[in-house]
């Protein structure tokens, strides 16, 4: 079978191919990338899609398990860069300024242009333990920052990848948080939110982490919080608990706007959790099962959840 010819880069596939209603919210499914079959996705160990239909990056491990080979392609399937090799890579993501960020196990971040040209390198801490997790976040300047947590729980942060000034903070507990995130509220300093089961700690550059006692008004102390994701407007946080509850709260944790309980599936062990626009979130349970959840304040009983298989 002959593969269809790739369209020009300017021909974005943005027309909705189908849509579903989730209560008062209409969710559109769009095809934005062509010729994805050529990527051999079943052999991919990491995948990152740039926002606003930008390029995609895929990583393979054809020879050694600790060596990534990274390819960059346009939405039409044209190859921009192939076989960029990175040792001990653990994380890959695009920034808001369309730069590819690749993080290694020892806390060294490599920054590339969308054409695969090396732009800079960030060394978070030569004494850092192995990387545990990382979070990228939007900045008020239209760029991205990154926060890296090592296996000892220390969080190292750069407020902007393009101007990497490094600062760090260490939580007062020995164990790792059950959920955490980093965000930069509008016209404010970068904040780190660490959740230890149902205890919320928050801090920013130059300030210590403090317990957020005012969140007790809505926190469910009988369960464990396992996920938290900030929306694109940087004004709300979607929380997920171990017992299947989704809560939408204000960025300062003072107010809970919405609570939805999911009984049909064990969502706490999901692959991915995030926002869809301003009024819905998704929970990907498996490669073939995704749950969409209406978190709008206008939703009616019974129209909160849609299961898509």
* pLDDT tens-digit readout, 229-262: 999 999 999 999 999 999 999 999 999 999 999 8
Domains of the chain: 185-309 (2.130.10.10)
Distance CA 238, CA 165 (A): 28
Distance CA 244, CA 285 (A): 12
- pLDDT tens digit sequence for 59-102: 999 878 889 999 999 877 789 999 999 999 999 999 999 999 99
Distance, first Cα to last Cα, the chain:
28
Chunked into runs of 10 residues, the chain (309 residues) has average pLDDT values of 40 54 75 70 87 88 89 87 94 94 95 95 85 93 92 94 91 95 90 97 93 96 97 95 95 94 87 90 89 80 63
Q: What is the DSSP letter of 156?
A: E
- Sequence length of the chain is 309
Burial 115-129 (b: 16+ CB within 10 A, else e): ebeeeeebebeeebe
Which three-class secondary structure state does DSSP give residue 81? strand
Stated pTM of the model? 0.88
Can you list the positions of beta strands (E) in 13-152?
16-22, 25-30, 44-49, 56-60, 67-73, 79-87, 89-94, 100-104, 108-112, 118-123, 131-138, 144-150
Which residues face 183 on adjacent strands?
191
Which three-class secondary structure state does DSSP give residue 284? strand
- Cβ atoms 159, 174 nearer than 8 A: no
Residue corresponding to tokens 């990534």: 68
């Amino acid at each position: 079978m002959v593969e269809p010819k790739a369209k020009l880069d300017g021909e974005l596939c943005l027309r909705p191919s189908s849509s579903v209603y989730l209560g008062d919210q209409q969710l559109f499914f769009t095809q934005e990338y062509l010729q994805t079959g050529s990527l051999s996705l079943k052999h991919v160990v990491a995948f990152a899609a740039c926002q606003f239909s930008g390029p995609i990056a895929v990583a393979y491990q054809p020879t050694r398990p600790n060596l990534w080979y990274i390819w960059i392609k346009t939405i039409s399937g044209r190859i921009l860069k192939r076989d960029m090799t990175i040792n001990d890579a653990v994380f890959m993501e695009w920034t808001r300024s369309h730069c590819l960020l690749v993080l290694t196990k020892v806390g060294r971040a490599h920054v590339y242009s969308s054409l695969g040209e090396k732009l800079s390198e960030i060394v978070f801490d030569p004494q850092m333990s192995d990387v545990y997790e990382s979070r990228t976040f939007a900045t008020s300047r239209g760029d991205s920052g990154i926060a890296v947590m090592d296996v000892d729980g220390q969080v190292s942060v750069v407020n902007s990848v393009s101007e990497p000034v490094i600062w760090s903070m260490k939580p007062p507990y020995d164990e790792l948080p059950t959920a955490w995130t980093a965000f930069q509220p509008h016209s404010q300093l970068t904040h780190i939110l660490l959740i230890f089961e149902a205890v919320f700690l928050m801090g920013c550059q130059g300030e210590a982490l403090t317990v957020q006692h005012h969140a007790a008004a809505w926190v469910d102390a009988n369960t464990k919080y396992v996920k938290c994701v900030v929306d694109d407007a940087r004004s709300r946080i979607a929380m997920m608990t171990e017992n299947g509850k989704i809560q939408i709260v204000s960025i300062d944790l003072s107010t809970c706007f919405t609570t939805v309980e999911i009984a049909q599936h064990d969502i706490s062990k999901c692959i991915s959790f995030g926002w869809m626009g301003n009024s819905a979130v998704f929970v990907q349970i498996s490669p073939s099962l995704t749950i969409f959840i209406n978190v709008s304040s206008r939703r009616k009983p019974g129209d909160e959840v849609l299961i898509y298989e």
